[in-house]
Structure 1
Amino acid sequence: MTGPALNADLISFLRSPRSRSPMHVEGDELVSDDGAERYPILKNVPRLAGDPYVGSFGRQWNRYEVVRPEEDEATFEAKTGVPPSDMAGKLVLDAGCGGGRYARLLGEHGANVLGVDLSSAVDKAAEMCAGLPNVQIVQGDLLDPPVVEDAFDLVFSIGVLHHSPDPRRAFAAIARRVKPGGRLAVWLYRKNIAPQEWINSGVRAVTTRLPARVLEPLCVGLGAVGSVPILNRTLNKLVNFSAHPDWTLRVCDNFDWWAPAYQSHHSLAELRSWFEEEGFEDLVELRPMKSGRLYDWTYDHDLIIGSGVNVAGRRKV
C-alpha cells in the first residue's frame, strides 16, 4: 500500500533545505523553483533528507503496529492541550511524525497536516495516512525543517526532540514555523534524579551499541517483566522498562528507550525557558493523564523514569 496522492497545497509550504527556495513537483521529483535543486519523491513522500542517526526509529515504527485510536486521541489531547476535533480545517505541523499515528488522527478529524520525520518511518506514516488527502508526509530534518516559517496554527512534537543531537536548536527551528497567535506543544523526557540518570546512561552506553537482532529479544524480555505488577512498580524506578498494558506497545516502548543513538533529559524549568526565549506566552504545563497521590508525588520529584516534561504556549502576535 502506498500513501495518499501528493497534496499540492501542503507541498506549497515546503522549502528547500539548502536554499530555502519554494518547491514544486516535476514528475517523481520535488524541484526548487530556480531548478537548481532536485529531491526524489518515493511512495508519494518527498525525500528532503537522509537517515544519518535515526535508523532505529525506521525499524521500530515499520515493525510494530502501534496505532490505538482511542488511546491516541486521549494522548494527543493530554500532550498538546487541544482536542483533535478542534483542529478541523487548521494547518498543523507534526514535527517528528514517526509512524504517523497523530498525523492520521488529525487528518481523520479534518486538519490539514504536514508530517515531517527524518527516519524511514515516513514509509509507515504514508501507509497509515493512505486515503487522507489532507495529510502530506515528508522526510526532513527538524534541525533545519524544509518548511516555511510563520505559517502553522499548531506545531507539536511528542517525544522527538530529545532524540536530536541538538534539542535546543531543533526546538527553535520548529518554534519558528508557528504563526503569530498559533500554538506550540512539546513533550520531552524528564531529567530524573542523579542515581537514576547514572544507571540508565550506563546501561544505554551498552544497548545503543547492540545490533537490533540482539536488543529486540532483550526488549521482549523486559516486556514480560513489565507485566508483573510488583516489578513494574519497583524495579523500573532503577532501570527503565515499560509497564503499558498492551504487549506490543510495551516492547515498542522498550526499544524506543534503549536503541536510539541520542537521548537527552530535561527539566520543566528548562523547557519553559525555551518557550519564553522563542517568544511564546500563556505557557501551561500539561500534566500526565495518570494521577493519584503517590504518582503525583513521584512525578513531581522526578522519580518516574521515562516520564516527561510537557509545555504548550501561544506565539506572541
Structure 2
Amino acid sequence: MSEFPDWLSEVLGAGLPAAGARAEVNGRSVVADGGILRAEEFVSDAQGQTRETFGFKWQKRETFEGSVAANMRRWLIEKYGDVPNAPWFAEHGEAPVLLDAGCGAALSSIELFGPVLDRIRFIGADVSPAVDVARDRFAERDYGGGFIQADLQQLPLPPESVDLIFSEGVLHHCDDTRAALTAVTRHLKPGGRILFYVYRKKGPIREFTDDHIRDQLQPMSPDAAWDAVMPLSKLGRILGELDIEIDVPEAIDVLEIPAGKINLQRLFYWHVFKAFYRPDMTLDEMNHINYDWYAPRNAHRHSEAEVRDWCAGLGLTIEHEKIEEAGITVIARKAVA
C-alpha cells in the first residue's frame, strides 16, 4: 500500500518511490520517508539555519494549538476573507490542487481551509521537519494530504500543476523573497490564484532593533534562542498588563511615529521592538510568536510598491490587497495565455 494519496502521482506526473527508496521526480532527487517525499538537496547556510529554527518551533505544539490557533483563524479571515466560501474559490472546481508553500505545522491551512480540507488535494511543502508535524496534524483530523520536505525553490513539482498556492508568512524567510515568489508561481496553472503574506518594513528604530536582536540570536541553538527571547516576552506582558494609553502630541516624522493616542505596549511593539501581547495567551504562546519573528536568519521586510512590482512582472493580477503595519496580504490571479 502506498504511503501517499493516490492523486499525488498524477499531480507530480511521475511514479512515486516505495518507502525508503529514492527516485528522480521532476529533476529533483527525493526519498520516501514516513509518508513524506524528502528532497536530498538544500540551498544555503541561511536556509539551513531557518530550517532548524522552524523545525524546533513547530515541534512545540503546546505553544500554538490553543489561543494561538484561535487567534490565527480570526487574523487569517481578516486578511484573506472567508476563502472557502468566496465566489472565486468555486472557480477552481470541487477538488482543486492546493500547494501550501511553506506549510510549517499546517496551522494556517487548517485554520483557513479547514471546511474544505476533506475534499481538496492538499500538498504541504516545507524546508524544515515541521512538515512531519503537519502530516501528523492532518492525520489526527482525518484529512488527506501529500507532504514534501524541500526548499521552495527546488520543489519536485511540474510547471503549471497546481490550482492554488497558499504561502502565509513564508516567502520572506527564503534567501530572496522575489526569487521564492517567482519559483512557486512557476507551479501555478494559468488562471490559478496565489495567496501570500510578507512582512512590511517598519520604522527606523524597530528595523534597527529587530536586526540587532536577530543578529544576537544567530550563534545560539534553537533552545538558547527561545530562552533569550523570553525576557522580551515577559516585558511585553508587563507593558500589556499596564494597559496605559498615551497621547503622542505631534508626529515624529524622523522616526515614523504618528501623532495620536496609542497604548504604551503598542507604541513599543510598532516602533521599538516586537514584544507580542494578548491577555488570552500564555507566556509560552506569546514567546512562540516573538521567537518566530526574531530567530530565523532570513526575515526580509518589504514595501507594497515592491510587492506590486513583483506581481506585475510575474503576470499576477492582484485581486485583493490588505496593507497593515505588520505586513502585506495579497490574493492574485495568474494570467491566462
State if a TM-score over 0.5 links the two structures. Answer: yes
Aligned 8 A contact 1:49 1:139 in 2: no
Q: Distance in 2 between matches of 1:208 and 1:74?
A: 32
The answer as to 2:132 corresponding to 1:123 is yes
The answer as to 2:309 corresponding to 1:278 is no
* Aligned-pair identity (%): 26
Q: 1:10 matched to which residue of 2?
A: 8
Q: Distance in 2 between matches of 1:10 and 1:79?
A: 30
Q: Which amino acid aligns with 1:313?
A: A
Q: Which amino acid aligns with 2:17?
A: V
- 1:104 Cα shift? 3.5
Q: Distance in 2 between matches of 1:13 and 1:315?
A: 19
Runs of at least 5 residues in structure 2 that lack an aligned partner in the other structure: 43-47, 245-263
- Given candidates 265, 271, 274, the residue that maps to 1:232 is 265
- 1:55 Cα shift? 0.4
Q: 2:334 matched to which residue of 1?
A: 315
- 1:279 Cα shift? 0.2
Q: Which amino acid aligns with 2:97?
A: L
- Given candidates 97, 101, 108, the residue that maps to 2:103 is 97
Aligned 8 A contact 1:76 1:83 in 2: no
Aligned 8 A contact 1:103 1:129 in 2: no
Q: Which amino acid aligns with 1:310?
A: T
Q: Which amino acid aligns with 1:314?
A: R
- Given candidates 157, 179, 184, the residue that maps to 1:174 is 184
Aligned 8 A contact 2:25 2:156 in 1: no
The answer as to 2:170 corresponding to 1:160 is yes
Q: 2:149 matched to which residue of 1?
A: 139
Aligned 8 A contact 1:182 1:314 in 2: yes
Q: 2:249 matched to which residue of 1?
A: none
Q: 1:24 matched to which residue of 2?
A: 16
Structure 1 residues 186 and 49, CA, compared in 2 at 3 Å: closer, same or farther? farther
Normalised TM-score (structure 2): 0.77
Structure 1 residues 195 and 148, CA, compared in 2 at 3 Å: closer, same or farther? same
Aligned 8 A contact 1:190 1:308 in 2: yes
Q: Distance in 1 between matches of 2:70 and 2:16?
A: 37
* 1:52-80 C-alpha deviation (Å, 9 max, x unpaired): 23201000001233235544443333344
Q: After alignment, is 69-78 or 188-197 more displaced? A: 69-78
Q: Distance in 2 between matches of 1:148 and 1:107?
A: 26
Q: 1:46 matched to which residue of 2?
A: 37
Aligned 8 A contact 2:36 2:149 in 1: yes
Q: 1:84 matched to which residue of 2?
A: 84
Q: Which amino acid aligns with 2:135?
A: A
Cα root mean square deviation, aligned: 2.6
Q: Distance in 2 between matches of 1:211 and 1:173?
A: 30
Q: Distance in 1 between matches of 2:145 and 2:82?
A: 19
Q: Distance in 1 between matches of 2:297 and 2:174?
A: 9
Runs of at least 5 residues in structure 1 that lack an aligned partner in the other structure: 16-21, 289-298, 300-306
Q: After alignment, is 213-222 or 273-282 more displaced? A: 213-222
Q: Distance in 1 between matches of 2:82 and 2:162?
A: 15
Structure 1 residues 218 and 266, CA, compared in 2 at 3 Å: closer, same or farther? same
Aligned 8 A contact 1:94 1:103 in 2: yes
- 1:214 Cα shift? 2.5
Structure 1 residues 201 and 279, CA, compared in 2 at 3 Å: closer, same or farther? same
Give the 3-state SS of the residue equivalent to 2:317 in structure 1. strand
- 1:262 Cα shift? 1.1
Q: After alignment, is 190-199 or 250-259 more displaced? A: 190-199
Structure 1 residues 55 and 173, CA, compared in 2 at 3 Å: closer, same or farther? same
* 1:19-67 C-alpha deviation (Å, 9 max, x unpaired): xxx3423343352379x97632222111114562320100000123323
* 1:218-245 C-alpha deviation (Å, 9 max, x unpaired): 3333332232324522322201121244
Aligned 8 A contact 2:95 2:120 in 1: yes
Structure 1 residues 208 and 11, CA, compared in 2 at 3 Å: closer, same or farther? farther
How many pairs does the alignment contain?
Answer: 290
Q: 1:255 matched to which residue of 2?
A: 291
Aligned 8 A contact 1:226 1:243 in 2: yes
* 1:253-292 C-alpha deviation (Å, 9 max, x unpaired): 111111112111000110111111000114421255xxxx
Q: Distance in 1 between matches of 2:227 and 2:29?
A: 41
Q: 2:276 matched to which residue of 1?
A: 242
- Given candidates 212, 215, 219, the residue that maps to 2:225 is 215
The answer as to 2:96 corresponding to 1:63 is no
* 1:157-188 C-alpha deviation (Å, 9 max, x unpaired): 11111111121111001112221111111111
Q: Distance in 1 between matches of 2:166 and 2:232?
A: 30
Q: 1:292 matched to which residue of 2?
A: none
Normalised TM-score (structure 1): 0.81
Q: Distance in 2 between matches of 1:148 and 1:75?
A: 32
